[in-house]
Amino acid sequence: MSFYCACAVNSALLEPVGALLVVMNLRAIIFITFWRLPSCIHMARVFVYGTLKKGQPNYHHMLESANGKAEFLASACTTEKYPLVIASHDNIPFLLNIPGQGHRVLGELYEVDDKMLKFLDELEEVPTMYQRAQVRLEVKEWVGETEGEERPAAGSFTEAFLYSTTAYQPDWLTLPRYESYDSRGDHGLQYVARQDRD
């Protein structure tokens, strides 16, 4: 006697969760393994304030499905002040991990899957150039979907990952600090894309 289960699911996605030995009689012993799909794809919230924002030089990475999934949720700002500076000869925006200095930084909140989070970690060169940490944000305007939850109101608070750096040059502390980054801003410091760097 044999039993099998046919599923229209990629078997690589299945996880064994237990087994059961059933003795039917002396001639029939059945060993049943229980399988289940992973409960869900893990999603994380990420706050971007620089070149990954809409209209900025690296925003295209957020749209490329090969990198993973990213869904825009809201415009937001940090609840704490941070120094957001433009530094290096490539004019890269850096949020220095020095809470209490600078401005409350404006940016965009995204929900991303594990694949996109891994891609962003690699893009941001975690942990050498940037470090990813959880921060508290104030919602400015929520536009994203909220499954089974009430849409957060302006002025409400949420948390998300943010890429900041502790690996900065001492003279960066003397640079102008920005509340919001725009690669084409009045600062005149045009961002140099990776493919154009020396």
Active site (catalytic) residues? 124
- Name, in order, each residue with C-beta under 8 angstroms of 190's C-beta and a sequence gap of 6 or more: 91, 183, 184
Q: Assess contact for 112 and 76: CB atoms under 8 A.
A: no
Spatial separation of the C-alpha atoms in residues 6 and 115, rounded to whole Å = 29
Q: Assess contact for 24 and 30: CB atoms under 8 A.
A: yes
Q: Assess contact for 9 and 76: CB atoms under 8 A.
A: no
Among candidate residues 163, 6, 14, 5, the one with its CA nearest the CA of residue 92? 163
Helices (H), 3-154: 60-63, 114-123
Burial 25-46 (b: 16+ CB within 10 A, else e): eeeeeeeeeeeeeeeeeeebbb
